[in-house]
Structures are given as C-alpha cells and as structure tokens.
Amino acid sequence: MQGKGPPVKFGFDHPMFKPLWVRIAVVAVAGLWGLFELSTGAYLWALIFLALAGVAFHGLFIAYEPPETDRD
C-alpha cells in the first residue's frame, strides 16, 4: 500500500491549476451553477454541483500544493 491520501486522484496538481484565477473560476462556476439549479428546483443537480464545488474548493485551496516546474 502507498499511504497518503485516497486511492482516487482527481488531478488537482495539474499545471493548469497553478494560476489563482483558474482555481477561483473552477470553484465559482461549479458553485454558482449549483445555486442556479437550486433556485430552479432541481435539487439533485444542485446537490451534485455544490458537492463538486466543495471537492474542488478542498482540492484547489485547502490541500493544494503548486506543481514544481523544471528549470535548467
């Protein structure tokens, strides 16, 4: 067994997520879409998107470690 973390990895360490604005946009779009679904009465979709926003917030802000770049 390889300790450290769950066996499923969502790839939050991808270099695409290095800029702060990208991380904010991902969480904001998922959260706002969840709120939109909630306002229209689609509770299942609201739950899905709000849960996705929560997972993204945790992965992109709380547990985020920027990827190291190779510079020679």
Look at residue 24 and tell me if it is in a domain: yes
This prediction's pTM: 0.78
Cβ-based neighbour number of residue 70 at 10 Å: 4
For tokens 């990827």, the residue is 67
Q: Give residue 64's pLDDT.
A: 83
- Domain count for the chain: 1
Look at residue 25 and tell me if it is in a domain: yes
Look at residue 42 and tell me if it is in a domain: yes
Look at residue 8 and tell me if it is in a domain: no
Q: Give residue 44's pLDDT.
A: 98
Please report the DSSP string for 11-65 in residue order. Answer: -TTSGGG-SHHHHHHHHHHHHHHHHHHHHTT-HHHHHHHHHHHHHHHIIIIIS--
Q: Which tokens is 46 given?
A: 């609201």
Look at residue 71 and tell me if it is in a domain: no
Where the chain has pLDDT below 50, the residues are: 1-2
Q: Which tokens is 71 given?
A: 């510079």
Look at residue 51 and tell me if it is in a domain: yes
Q: Which domain holds residue 29?
A: 17-62
Cβ-based neighbour number of residue 59 at 10 Å: 19
